[in-house]
Amino acid sequence: MRHRVKGRKLSRTSEHRRATLRNLATSLLRHKKIKTTVAKAKELRSFVEPLITKAKSDSVAARRHVADFIKEKSVVKELFTDINAKVGERPGGYTRIVRLGQRKGDAAELAIIELVDYSGVLKPKQSKKAKSEKVEPEVEEAKIVSEEVNEEVKPKKKASKTSKKKKEESEEKETKKKKAAPKKTTTKKTTKKS
């Protein structure tokens, strides 16, 4: 019988479970909305709501108590300033869990857990295409002006096919390098002694 047994083990040891809940709570307070499994979301709710309640009394003791669970100073500061101002009048129930369905790989029940007062405030994420367009600015091709000096080439013996291929490959590599990284080149006039 499991009478009066509270909480979920989440298939973890006690230290691992504590670390998981701390990380989930930090992510929830930073991003205001996270996607996780239903079991983790329900455990996170009972973990993070007392911390938000504690943050209502802005004292040194309350800050130290919350800092025992939330290890990032910036998130603790945000909890006591921004989040506290939003939820100041609410008497509890700071989070909302919305079920999403099953995950494709292992059929685990997924859910979104979010802070209630921040549900409409979040900006929608940009699609990957929009991000890639912003990241890659248009690159204009640089023009390279170079003067070629005509040199007399002595006739050589016929080269084998493999050496011709190697020579062509090396020329292709050189042209790619020139196109990729344009450099300012200066030419020197050479004089031949006859």
- Higher pLDDT residue, 21 or 170? 21
Residue 193 has pLDDT above 90, yes or no: no
| CB contact at 8 A, 29 and 78 | yes
pLDDT of residue 72: 96
- Rounded Cα gap, residues 90 and 194, in angstroms: 97
pLDDT of residue 168: 77
- Rounded Cα gap, residues 40 and 110, in angstroms: 9
Least confident range from 24-28, 31-35, 115-119: namely 115-119
The CATH number of domain 14-128, selected from 3.90.1030.10, 3.40.50.300, 3.30.70.590, 2.60.40.10: 3.90.1030.10
Residues 150-161 have a mean pLDDT of 51
CB-neighbour burial class of residue 108 (10 A; exposed 0-12, middle 13-18, buried 19+): middle
| CB contact at 8 A, 115 and 30 | no
The structural domains of the chain, with segments of one domain joined by +, span 14-128
Residue 152 has pLDDT above 60, yes or no: no
Residues 112-140 have a mean pLDDT of 67
